[in-house]
Homo-oligomer: A and B are copies of this chain.
Amino acid sequence: MSSQAPADAAVPAESAAAQTLPDRTQAPADAAAPQGEVSKNAAKKAAKLAKLAQDKADKKAGNAANKGIGKQEAKKPASKAPKKKIDGAALIGIDVSKEEDFPSWYQQVLTKGDMLDYYDVSGCFILKPASYSIWEEIQNWFNGYIKKMGVKNCSFPLFVSEDVLQREKDHIEGFAAEVAWVTHAGSTPLEKKIAIRPTSETVMYPYYAKWIRSHRDLPLKLNQWNSVVRWEFKHPQPFLRTREFLWQEGHTAHLTQDAAHEEVMQILDLYARIYEELLAVPVVKGQKTEKEKFAGGLYTTTVEGYIPATGRGIQGGTSHGLGQNFSKMFGITVEDPSAKGDEKKPPIHVWQNSWGLSTRTLGVMVMIHSDNRGLVLPPRVAENQTVIVPVGITAKTSDEERSKLYAEIERLVSVLQDAGVRAISDLREGYSPGWKFNEWELRGVPLRIEFGPGEMAGGFVTAARRDIPGKDGKAPIQIADLATAVPALLETIQKDLYNRADNEYRSHRKLITNWDDFTPALNDKNVCIIPHCLTEECEDQIKDMSARKAEEDSGEAQDARAPSMGAKSLCIPFDQPEGIVPGETKCCNPKCTRPAEKWCMFGRSY
């Protein structure tokens, strides 16, 4: 699957509507009171099970042996006012709305959608299989491309000695306050405290100096998939701000600046494609300003996303040209290969890059696509792409009829799996179809397939898209077409998710030349592209002014959870609008007298 699929890929919803489509998605809400489609006994049993599970959970929450476990979320009142409950929300479902209480909604979508759990060490989270499998998809995809580029995976240690960590001053300054220090082994104090890597530049580069002995050893291209630790004291947020996080970090060394730059851009393209093709998330490619670039490097390129619900920008992944800063600090040099015979030329300091993409990707994906029914997963990365649920079984259904139906469902699962679809069935007894619909919606399965006696008799299935709840997303698919129609429909869903998010982002990127429009645009959940002088001083002013202005407008102090709501620069987009006349166009900041250098994208951000 690829987001470049033809625009007119078959959409069964529009092409076949002969059969009656029962809207089984209506009000299947309360897990404790299953709908009428199962026998009363089954309904009772389900209610009892749900009650037992809840009792047990309650009991465990009070279990002294597991004190504190899973309680991190409970300690965190997201807002002072009582949460706005969604009407008719299921016991297992999301009970706050994305529009009214985004932080609580996000937390619930992740935990109830089985992506993640809170952990008893604050700022650390458990990635459950539903999220980790998406990370594995990203790993496989990215590994395929970087291996073709000659990048090799490896593993460097978790620990850094204090000496080495502090070698590059500019670089370490950005991390110093957040470094976790190991001081004891058992009850024995270590001779010297040892840091846990916050990133691996200083871990790796002393060895690059040792290994790179000749220009023949270049380029050296290593990558590792690992976790790093940055002990932030700001409020943690799953995937977005965590004290330990998973990522990949690539570190390469090149003979020439051109070769290094070419790679920076290739990697940035791959990052953009991970967002756009795998996660259905649009991004803007650009370069960071001097103020926002990676400390110690020469320049930073970035992919910047956008969260419509909050109107905030979010950095998606960065590919840094480090220049020769680190190679000078660590003495990574080669003889100049252009030297002839016994000619003396000074040694060349290698040109280095580093680039990283983290599990933050997963948070961005969830924030953009998911809704008040729970997760919405893009088909390309969903662990389960479709689930077949039996429907229409009543007290009158004979055991034989049920067996036949179930056997046919298993056959359809095989047909789909043979067609490359990650398909499962849900034949659990004791749960109503409505309850199951709810659960699979919560978990974000892109396509639900309903199959009952009516479908069986008619030789079709009823497909229901997760991204379009209710009748509009439902359509029959002939069983004979299943192996082609379902992959095509998944492709369509992937494309539609991307297009919807892309339209949102495009309509919220405002080209602004008049400062008076700037803060109101931010307040309307936009990011702003303005003519800018690219100086740090001016960025600081814009941040202050846009923060103060917001307070004046709203008449109250900023939300405690977003301590600095001033706008910062997100990137200088590579795709520059027209209109800046060099030397003539002024910087958009009215307090700034400098000419504008580029269109620069500013926004409130994560």
Contact = CB atoms under 8 A, between A and B. Distances in A.
Interface in A102-143: 117, 119-121, 124-129, 132-133, 135-136
B194 A185 contact: no
Interface in A166-210: 167, 176-188, 193-194, 196, 206-207, 209-210
A567 interface: no
A214 interface: yes
A183 B179 CA distance: 11
A127 B154 CA distance: 6
A227 B167 CA distance: 26
A183 B195 CA distance: 11
A216 interface: yes
Interface stretch (A156-164, A404-412, A468-476, A477-485): A156-164
Contact of A176 (B49, B153, B186): B186
Contact of A68 (B163, B181, B186): B163
Interface string A335-367: 100000000000000000000000000000000
Nearest to A246: B155
Which among A53, A67, A164 has the greatest number of chain B C-beta atoms within 10 A? A164
Contacts of A56: 213
Contacts of A167: 65
Given A176-B186, A180-B184, A186-B178, A129 B214 contact: no
A70 interface: yes
Nearest to A211: B117
A455 B335 CA distance: 37
7 closest cross-chain pairs (CB), A and B: A185-B231, A129-B152, A124-B157, A177-B186, A127-B155, A53-B213, A69-B206
B69 A229 contact: no
Contact of A66 (B69, B121, B210): B210
Contacts of A1: none
A577 to B, nearest CB: 41
Given A160-B121, A178-B186, A335-B52, A209 B153 contact: no
Interface string A499-537: 000000000000000000000000000000000000000
Interface string A371-414: 00000000000000000000000000000000000000000000
Contacts of A222: 129
B181 A120 contact: no
A70 B204 CA distance: 12
Interface in A403-444: 428
Given A53-B213, A186-B176, A209-B60, A129 B153 contact: yes
A273 B72 CA distance: 42
A453 interface: no
B210 A57 contact: yes
Contact of A126 (B53, B70, B154): B154
A432 B121 CA distance: 58
Interface string A312-339: 0000000000000000011100010000
A30 interface: no
Contacts of A125: 157
Contacts of A156: 119, 126-127
A244 interface: yes
A431 to B, nearest CB: 10
A154 B116 CA distance: 10
Interface in A207-235: 207, 209-211, 213-214, 216, 222, 226-227, 229, 231, 233
A2 interface: no
Nearest to A334: B56
Given A153-B129, A186-B176, A66 B206 contact: yes
Given A117-B207, A121-B159, A133-B153, 5 more contacts: A63-B331, A69-B206, A127-B156, A180-B182, A183-B183
A182 B181 contact: yes
Interface in A8-51: 49
Contacts of A180: 182, 184-185
A210 B69 contact: yes
B132 A52 contact: no
Nearest to A126: B156
30 contacts: A49-B216, A63-B209, A63-B331, A65-B167, A65-B330, A65-B331, A66-B210, A69-B206, A69-B207, A70-B207, A117-B210, A117-B211, A119-B157, A120-B164, A120-B206, A121-B157, A121-B161, A124-B159, A126-B156, A126-B157, A127-B154, A128-B154, A136-B153, A158-B244, A178-B185, A180-B182, A180-B184, A182-B183, A184-B193, A185-B231
A134 to B, nearest CB: 11
A308 to B, nearest CB: 28
B133 A152 contact: yes
Contacts of A157: 119, 121, 124-126, 244
A65 B185 CA distance: 28
Contacts of A69: 164, 206-207, 209-210
Nearest to A333: B56
A67 B164 CA distance: 9
Contacts of A226: 227
A178 B185 CA distance: 6
Which among A60, A127, A177, A188 has the greatest number of chain B C-beta atoms within 10 A? A60
B60 A159 contact: no
A60 B331 contact: yes
A469 B361 CA distance: 50
Contacts of A213: 52-53, 56-57
